[in-house]
């Protein structure tokens, strides 16, 4: 029959469906529950902050030390490089392909702008 292949699919209105199911079952804490949660006193909060500060101070000192070490390493490295390069300090022609894709740019940068 010519009707058979254009059946209408019934459209279900989601809001109507929800209404038919009745009021939603409230799952999870209410706002009231959130407001009634145990809260730390001001003193406790202050203590926590102090603890945090102490912790971060130790961390800061540690970082400082690491930075010192790193600086020393860099200095050493630089001295080594400079020591080896005294003789050839002036810029030499650089082979074009040495740099891969950045080659042209590096080659261009060899020649300082006026």
pLDDT tens digit sequence for 27-65: 788 888 889 999 889 999 999 999 888 888 888 888 899
Q: Which of the four pLDDT bands, split at 50, 70 and 90, describes residue 102?
A: low
Q: How far apart are CA 68 and CA 71, in angstroms?
A: 5
Which alpha helices (DSSP H) does 22-91 contain, by range?
A: 31-35, 42-85
What is the end-to-end Cα distance of the chain in Å, rounded?
Answer: 87
Count of alpha carbons within 13 Å of 45, Cβ hemisphere only?
Answer: 5
What six digits make up the tokens of 100? 């891969």
Q: Is the pLDDT of residue 109 over 90?
A: no
């Amino acid at each position: 029959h010519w009707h058979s292949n254009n059946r209408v699919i019934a459209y279900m209105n989601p809001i109507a469906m929800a209404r038919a199911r009745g009021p939603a079952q409230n799952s999870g804490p209410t706002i009231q529950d959130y407001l009634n949660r145990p809260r730390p006193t001001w003193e406790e909060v202050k203590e926590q902050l102090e603890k945090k500060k102490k912790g971060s101070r130790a961390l800061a000192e540690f970082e400082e030390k690491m930075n010192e070490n790193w600086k020393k390493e860099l200095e050493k490295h630089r001295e080594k490089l400079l020591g080896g390069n005294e003789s050839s300090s002036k810029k030499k022609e650089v082979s074009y392909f040495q740099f891969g894709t950045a080659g042209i740019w590096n080659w261009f940068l060899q020649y300082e702008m006026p």
